[in-house]
Amino acid sequence: MDRRHVLKALAMTPLLTPNWSFSAQQHKFDAVVVGAGVFGMWSAWYLRQAGLSVAVIDQSTPGHSGSSSGGESRVTRTGYGDSELYTEWSHRSLAAWKKLSEASSLPLFHPIGMLMVHQEDDPYVMASKAVLKKFGIPFKALNTKQLRNNYPVMKVKDGERGILEPNAGGLMARRGVQTLAVKAAQAGVHIFQGTVSPIDSTRSRQGALTEIEYKHGNGIGRIQAENFIIACGPWLDKVCPEAMANRLFVTRQEILYFQASREVTGKLPTWATLPYYGLPDIEGRGFKVANDTHGTRVDPSKVNRHVHDEVIQQTRLFLAERFPGIANQPLLESRVCQYENSSNGDFVIDLHPGLNNTYVVGGGSGHGFKHGPAVGRYVTDRVLQRGTVIEQLSLESKATVQDRQVI
C-alpha cells in the first residue's frame, strides 16, 4: 500500500471525535510530535501557538487507558522541597490548566487544596516552605490540633504537622488531555493515528531526521518535518533506544477507589502521608488512594492490569491506621498504571544525541502530569532555540541505575 492509499485510509478512519483534523494532502510539517499524552499534547499546543504547522501522531487516542496520562485524576501541588524548577513549573502550569478548565464544559481542575502530613522539622517540608515563600505561593502550616480539628476523618498521630496549599487540588487527567487535543485540533494541529517505528539516527541527513515511519492497520506511512518531538511516555526507550540507552525505568503502580463520599471525608483536600497519597471523592469516583513506592519493572504493552489482592489488603491496613472510617468501605474501582521513571525523577527534555532536530521528552516519573504546560513551553523554546537550556533535564544527567531524588 503506498502513502496515498494509507493517507486515504487514515482519512476515513473514524477518530475519537469529529473535531480531529486531518489533511490527506499535507505530510510535511514544521514539527511532528509523537505521543498524544500530557507532554506531547501541551508541546503540540505551544508549538502551534508559536505559529508552526504541527502534527501529532499516536498509536492510540489521546489519554488512552494504557498511557500514563490515562487515569482519572492527578494531584497538583507546588511544594517540591528545595526544587525551584518544579515549584515554578507547577505554579505556572496550574495557571494554564485553570485557563483550559475555564474554557471546558466539564471541569479539568478541582480547587480543593493539597495537604501534606509530615513530622515536625521534616527537611523536605522546611525546604518547600522556603521556596514557596520565595515565589509568593500561599500555604498554611497546621499543628497537630488543627489537623485533628480540620480533618476528623483522618487519624493524626501525636506530633504530626501539616502543610496545606489552598490553591492546589486535583486535575482531571484523561479529560484534560482529551480537551486539549480537541482544542489543538481546532487550532489547526493535525492528529493522526499510527505506531511510529524506532528512530534510527544512522538514517539522518546531515545530522537531521527528515521523516518518521509509522504503521497504521496493514499500511505504512511517512511524515516529514523540520523538527520531531518524541514524547512516548513509558514507550520512550522503545522509540528512542539510542537516546534513552537503558535510562527509563517503567514501574507498575496500583490505584484504588473506595466508597466514601465528601459527606464522610468533610473538607479533606488532596492529601499525602507518604508513601500513600490520594484524593477525596471527585465527581462520584470514590476516595482515591495509592502507594507512591515504585512497583516492579514492566513492559507497558504487556503489564498485567489486574490489581493484586495483597495490595487491596495492604491498602486497607493503611486506611485502618490513617482513615479508619474508610478501611472497610467497598472498593469501587481499581486501576493499574505505570510510572515512566528517569533514574533520579527529573524529566528528560533534550536533543537526541544523534539528531540535531529531534527532542526526547519524557521521564515524568510519577509527578509529571501537573507540569504538562511548562513542559510544552520549554519544548517549544528548545525547538525555537530561545531561552536557557536546563541541564537538570538533560539526557547526560541521567544514569542507568535508579536512585530516586525527586519526590
Ligand X SMILES: Cc1cc2nc3c(=O)[nH]c(=O)nc-3n(C[C@H](O)[C@H](O)[C@H](O)COP(=O)(O)OP(=O)(O)OC[C@H]3O[C@@H](n4cnc5c(N)ncnc54)[C@H](O)[C@@H]3O)c2cc1C
User: Minimum distance between the CB of residue 390 and ligand X, rounded to whole angstroms?
Assistant: 17
Using the contact rule CB under 6 A, the part of the chain among 29-37, 124-132, 199-207, 315-323 near ligand X is: 29-37
Shortest distance (Å) from residue 64 CB to ligand X: 6
Torsion of Cα atoms, 189 then 192 then 195 then 196, to 10°:
-40
Nearest distance in Å: CB 212, ligand X: 9
Binding residues for ligand X, how many (CB under 6 A)? 38
Contact between 368 and ligand X per CB under 6 A: yes
350: contact with ligand X by CB under 6 A? no
Interface residue with ligand X among 44, 52, 71, 281 (CB under 6 A) is: 71
**Using CB under 6 A as the criterion, what x/- string covers residues 206-235 for binding ligand X?**
-------------------------xxxxx
Among 10, 38, 156, 303, binds ligand X (CB under 6 A): 38
Minimum CB separation of residue 292 from ligand X in Å reads 8
CB of 387 to ligand X, least distance (A): 21
Per rule CB under 6 A, is residue 278 in the interface with ligand X?
no
6 binds ligand X (CB under 6 A): no
Site string for ligand X, 189-208 (x = CB under 6 A): ------xx------------
| Interaction residues for ligand X, span 233-252 (CB under 6 A) | 233-235, 239
CB 213 within 8 A of CB 221: yes
Beta carbon nearer to ligand X, 162 or 221 = 221
Site for ligand X contains 367 (CB under 6 A): yes
- Cβ proximity to ligand X: between 316 and 367 the closer is 367
The residue from 44, 55, 59, 260 that contacts ligand X (CB under 6 A) is 59
- The region of 8-16, 137-145, 308-316, 363-371 touching ligand X under the rule CB under 6 A is 363-371
Using the rule CB under 6 A, is 16 a contact of ligand X?
A: no
In the numeric block, the cell 523554546 is attached to 381
- Which residues in the 73-112 window bind ligand X by CB under 6 A? 74-75
Single residue of 67, 128, 178, 291 touching ligand X by CB under 6 A: 67
Longest dimension (CA), the chain: 70
Taking CB under 6 A as the binding criterion, the range among 24-32, 156-164, 311-319, 333-341 that sits at the site for ligand X is 333-341
SS3 letters across the chain? CCHHHHHHHHHHCCCCCCCCECCCCCCEEEEEEECCCHHHHHHHHHHHHCCCCEEEEECCCCCCCCCCCCCCEEEECCCECECHHHHHHHHHHHHHHHHHHHCCCCCCEECCCEEEEEECCCHHHHHHHHHHHHHCCCCEEECHHHHHHHCCCCCCCCCEEEEEECCCEEEEHHHHHHHHHHHHHHCCCEEEECEECCCCHHHCECCECCEEEEEECCEEEEEEEEEEEECCHHHHHHHCHHHHCCCCEEEEEEEEEECCCHHHHCCCCEEEECCEEEECCCCCCCEEEEECCCCCECCCCCCCCCCCHHHHHHHHHHHHHHCCCCCCCCEEEEEEEEEEECCCCCCEEEECCCCCCEEEEECCCCCCHHHHHHHHHHHHHHHCCCCCCCHHHCCCCCCCCCCCCCC
Q: Which residues bind ligand X (CB under 6 A)?
A: 34-40, 57-60, 64, 67-69, 71, 74-75, 195-196, 231-235, 239, 253, 255, 337-339, 362, 364, 366-370
